[in-house]
């Protein structure tokens, strides 16, 4: 992969947003695969600024998010749909009908997952997939396992993932136990992948993902098999690279 080490947070966000903005400038109808969580939040913030300055438009773009919690109403403060609306979609000119997030609030999550697979297949290859990595090596919510799923599916979250995300909820008991996530085949099908990694606590996992064996027990290691990956790290996360 192409590893870029940002000197500071501002540079990290500038570089990440710059990659998305240049794609949209050359291909206004780009299909964007988006992630939530703390890793991309500053990049989305910078994209909003670029939009306000008139440097980038999402008017013809389509977005497909990686994942969503099962069982949270879509207006729940911690739902990924709400995160995306608040951090990006409501602040730029993307058309609401062009934004897609798995329907975790569906009474039938398995069906919602199958429908999302269908939607992605109809869309065709995503031009750029933004990813973060979990402390356990997950991408999307594809948790370490002896087998991984190719397409969108319902997963049971690892306890470690629930604990890592408990900081956003009032207690661990409120963190959903399941999620709908895009599968590994769909993620790897994107033309280009931008993996965003911040903070000292990610140094070990990103080094293992990029330099360790390719194994389903570290789903991010499968990115080694993709020909067009940019890994954007800050100084702390990039310490072992």
Bridge partners for 240 per DSSP: none
Among the residue ranges 32-40, 54-62, 89-97, 205-213, the one whose residues contact ligand F6R (CB under 6 A): 32-40
Separation between Cα atoms, residue 187 and residue 140, nearest integer Å: 8
Among the residue ranges 33-41, 45-53, 186-194, 203-211, the one whose residues contact ligand F6R (CB under 6 A): 33-41
**33: contact with ligand F6R by CB under 6 A:** no
Tokens matching residue 15: 């570089």
Q: Is 2 exposed, middle or buried (0-12, 13-18, 19+ CB in 10 A)?
A: exposed
Least distance from C-beta 43 to ligand F6R, angstroms?
Answer: 11
Task: Give the count of residues interacting with ligand F6R (CB under 6 A).
Answer: 14
Separation between Cα atoms, residue 128 and residue 19, nearest integer Å: 9
**Secondary structure (H, E, C), 73-93:** CCCCCCCHHHHHHHHCHHHCC
**238: contact with ligand F6R by CB under 6 A:** no
What three-state secondary structure class fits 101?
Answer: coil
- Would you please indicate which residues are annotated as catalytic (active-site) residues? 67, 136, 138, 143
Q: 6, 24, 61, 66: which one contacts ligand F6R (CB under 6 A)?
A: 66
**36: contact with ligand F6R by CB under 6 A:** yes
Closest residue to ligand F6R, Cβ-based? Answer: 132
**134: contact with ligand F6R by CB under 6 A:** yes
Bridge partners for 193 per DSSP: 129, 229
**154: contact with ligand F6R by CB under 6 A:** no
Q: Rule CB under 6 A: which of 168-197 touch ligand F6R?
A: none
Contact indicator for 6, 234 with CB cutoff of 8 Å: yes
Would you tell me which residues interact with ligand F6R (CB under 6 A)?
35-39, 66-67, 132-134, 138-141
């Amino acid at each position: 992969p192409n590893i870029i080490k940002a000197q500071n947070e501002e540079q990290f966000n500038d570089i990440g947003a710059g990659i998305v903005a240049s794609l949209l400038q050359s291909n206004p109808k780009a299909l964007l695969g988006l992630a939530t969580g703390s890793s991309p939040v500053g990049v989305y913030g910078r994209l909003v600024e670029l939009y306000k300055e008139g440097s980038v438009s999402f008017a013809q773009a389509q977005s497909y998010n990686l994942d969503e919690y099962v069982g949270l109403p879509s207006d729940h403060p911690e739902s990924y749909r709400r995160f995306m609306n608040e951090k990006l979609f409501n602040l730029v000119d993307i058309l609401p009908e062009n934004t897609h997030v798995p329907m975790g609030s569906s009474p039938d999550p398995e069906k919602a997952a199958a429908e999302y697979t269908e939607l992605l297949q109809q869309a065709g290859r995503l031009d750029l997939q933004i990813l973060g990595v979990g402390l356990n090596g997950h991408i999307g919510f594809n948790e370490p396992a002896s087998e991984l799923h190719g397409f969108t599916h319902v997963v049971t979250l690892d306890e470690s993932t629930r604990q890592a995300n408990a900081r956003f909820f009032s207690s661990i008991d409120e963190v959903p136990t399941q999620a709908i996530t895009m599968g590994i085949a769909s993620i790897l099908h994107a033309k280009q992948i931008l993996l965003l990694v911040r903070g000292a606590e990610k140094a070990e996992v990103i080094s293992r993902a990029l330099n360790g064996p390719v194994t389903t027990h570290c789903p991010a290691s499968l990115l080694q098999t993709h020909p067009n990956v940019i890994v954007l790290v800050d100084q702390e996360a990039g310490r072992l690279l």
